[in-house]
Amino acid sequence: MRRVSTETATAAIFFLLFTLGLAFLPAQSDRSASSSGNAEVQPRRFVHRYRPGEEYRIVGVNDQNLFVDNEPVGSAEVLTRIQIAVTALDQVADGVIGTLEAHYQVSEEADTGGGAFQLERSYSVEFTQDEAGRQTVARDSFVPQVRDIPTFPEREIAPGDTWSAPAVEVYDFREGLGIDEPVGIPVDVQYEYLGPREFEDRTYDVIRIRYNLFYRPPPARPEAQTIRVMTARFSQELYWDFLAGRAHYYEEDYTLFLQLADGTRSEYRGSADGRIVAAPPLDRDRLRDEIQGAIDSDGIDDTTVRSDEEGVTVSLENIRFAPDSAVLLDSEREKVRWLAEILGRYPDRDILVSGHTALAGTPQGRQMLSEERAAAVGEYLINLGARDRENIMYQGFGARRPVADNDTEAGRRRNRRVEITILEN
């Protein structure tokens, strides 16, 4: 059995953070939900709606604090970005079932200083979901982490109505606790329809969602060797777009307690919010040609642009930093300022910054340098106002993805690059 020390328990915090189940969990808690005119709202039946070919994304930020044996040991911000595509629609006897593809990108910042989020892991999953919100997901999938929320009753509801429905929380304990399969925990969810509320110049239906979790692993389960007991409390408010048949915004707070077999007691306290972002398909070829035209007309050296399924990528080749550091030279800042102006023309798209090095030094050193340089460019773009923090991620590849021969100086110049991708969805 892998022993979980305080340090590994701290590392495990980031795998307990909620990767925003496609059920779009949500919301803060005990604030007043009164809304003028609720008495005039006619009862309606709420359903999830699906439109083949529809694409959108969910962007959420989770702020969490970790306490081990009642002592504060760290905090984290986690950015979760979920790309959703409705790929099929099936008519069945009792309604409609949608097939959805979801691609999760989870970015984490421990004790963050407010810069860009580092892309840590990605997941992809396909599942089905019916009109009520009940999902069918492969048993070995770690996402969606929250399943079957919200589930609506098969009747009309009016402000003040309540109902309950089963759901599942799924946890990923591979890092820190060494548990290789998803840990699914059934929960009983309590719902209350609070009525309509004005939000961001529109009216949404607000639903309060609350549930508690208690889990003592059965002896036959693999997690029973490491986990003694888990308890949690979740309190949420979901802003539902009735016509679209999906969530628009959520906010939540929660506490989660975990007692391990070695006696370690960990408590996670946090709050989160997030929203649905709908964007039309990206005309990648047109965007590529527009940026190429700007490169040519502005005389930007060592810069190329390409398009692929991920989006449109601008490559700043031979980008120069102070030796063995992530400090941009002044001459390069001008190039990044030019790029920020270009990105400002396409404000509805998220950005991924990727760092690359030439083949010099150690693999570990190259990896760290590529990450630090991508982070520096990402933070500078944030400071320039090109994107908000939650709309930009970074990652590093070291020297693993060369575009030229590292045996020549000309090739190494091209490989020392930072790439900025305007993402498709």
CATH number at residue 348: 3.30.1330.60
- Report DSSP letters for 299-312, one per residue: T-TTEEEEEETTEE
pLDDT digits (tens, 9 = 90+) for 4-55: 333 333 334 333 444 344 343 333 333 334 444 455 789 999 999 999 999 9
Backbone conformation region of residue 111, classed left if phi is above 0, alpha if psi is from -120 to 50, else beta = left
Q: CA-CA distance, 45 to 153, in Å (whole number)?
A: 8
Same-domain status, 364 and 248 = no
- In terms of domains, do 332 and 215 share one? no
Whether residue 236 lies inside any domain: the answer is yes
Tell me which of 246, 261, 277 is where a domain ends. 277
| 222 or 19: which leads in pLDDT | 222
**C-beta of residue 335 within 8 angstroms of C-beta of residue 300:** yes
Question: 52-61, 104-113, 232-241, 287-296: which has the minimum mean pLDDT?
Answer: 104-113
- In this prediction, residue 111 has a pLDDT band, given cuts at 50, 70 and 90, of low
pLDDT in tens, 291-302: 999 999 999 999
**What element of type H or E holds 26?**
none
CB 159 within 8 A of CB 38: yes
Mean pLDDT, rounded, for 400-406:
93
Do 8 and 176 form a contact (C-beta atoms < 8 A)?
yes
The token pair at 159 is: 């402000």
Same domain, 213 and 343: no
What is the per-residue pLDDT for 35? Answer: 42
Position 115 confidence tier, pLDDT thresholds 50, 70, 90:
confident
Give CA separation, 392 vs 57, 140, 254, 353, 387, in Å: 14, 30, 26, 8, 7
- Does residue 293 share a domain with residue 250? no
Same domain, 272 and 311: no
Residues 319, 53: Cα–Cα separation, whole Å: 39
Are 89 and 140 in the same domain? yes
Whether residue 217 is found in the same domain as residue 260: yes
Same domain, 36 and 136: yes
Output the pLDDT for position 316.
95
364 falls within a domain: yes
Give the pLDDT of residue 27: 35
Domain boundary among 234, 257, 277: 277
On average, the pLDDT of the chain sits at: 89
Q: What is the mean pLDDT of residues 183-206?
A: 97
- The whole domain housing 260 covers 6-277
pLDDT at 156 over 60: yes
More confident residue, 248 or 32: 248
What is the 8-class DSSP label of residue 172? -
E strand or H helix that includes residue 24 = none
Task: Say if 1 falls within a structural domain.
Answer: no
Q: Are strands 351-356 and 265-277 parallel, antiparallel or unpaired?
A: unpaired
- Please, are residues 336 and 377 in contact by the beta-carbon 8 Å criterion? yes
Band (113; pLDDT cuts 50, 70, 90): low
Same domain for 218 and 303?
Answer: no
CB 63 within 8 A of CB 273: no
* Residue 122, number of CB atoms within 10 A of its CB: 11
176 shares its domain with 223: yes
DSSP count for the chain of H helices, then E strands: 6, 17
Q: Taking residues 71-91, what's their average pLDDT?
A: 94
For the cut 70, the answer to whether the pLDDT of residue 79 exceeds it is yes
Distance CA 398, CA 368 (A): 7
Torsion of CA 66, 69, 72, 76, to 10 degrees: -10
Residue 129 lies in a domain: yes
The answer on pLDDT for 92 being more than 70 is yes
364 pLDDT exceeds 50? yes
Segment 108-128 shows an average pLDDT of 84
- Measured from the Cβ of residue 301, the count of other Cβ atoms closer than 10 Å reads 9
Of 44, 31, 15, nearest to 208 by C-alpha is 31
In a domain, 49, yes or no: yes
Same domain, 302 and 365: yes
Residue at a domain's end among 277, 310, 345: 277
pLDDT tens, 320-348? 888 888 999 988 899 999 999 999 999 98
**What pLDDT score was predicted for residue 176?**
80
Q: Could you give the C-alpha distances from 373 to 79, 116, 377, 419, in angstroms and in order?
A: 20, 12, 6, 11
> Do 222 and 299 lie in a common domain?
no
Tell me if residue 404 falls in helix, strand or coil: coil
The whole-angstrom separation of Cα 420 and Cα 26 is 31
CATH code: domain of residue 248: 2.30.230
Which sign, positive or negative, has the C-alpha torsion 198, 203, 205, 207?
Answer: negative
Report the number of distinct structural domains present in the chain.
Answer: 2
pLDDT at 389 over 70: yes
Tokens for 65? 């604090």
**pTM, to two decimals:** 0.86
Tell me if 21 is assigned to some domain.
yes
First and final C-alpha spacing in the chain = 42
Q: Residue 18 contacts by C-beta under 8 Å, 6 or more apart in sequence? A: 25, 62, 80, 145, 146, 272
Indicate if the pLDDT at residue 398 is higher than 90: yes
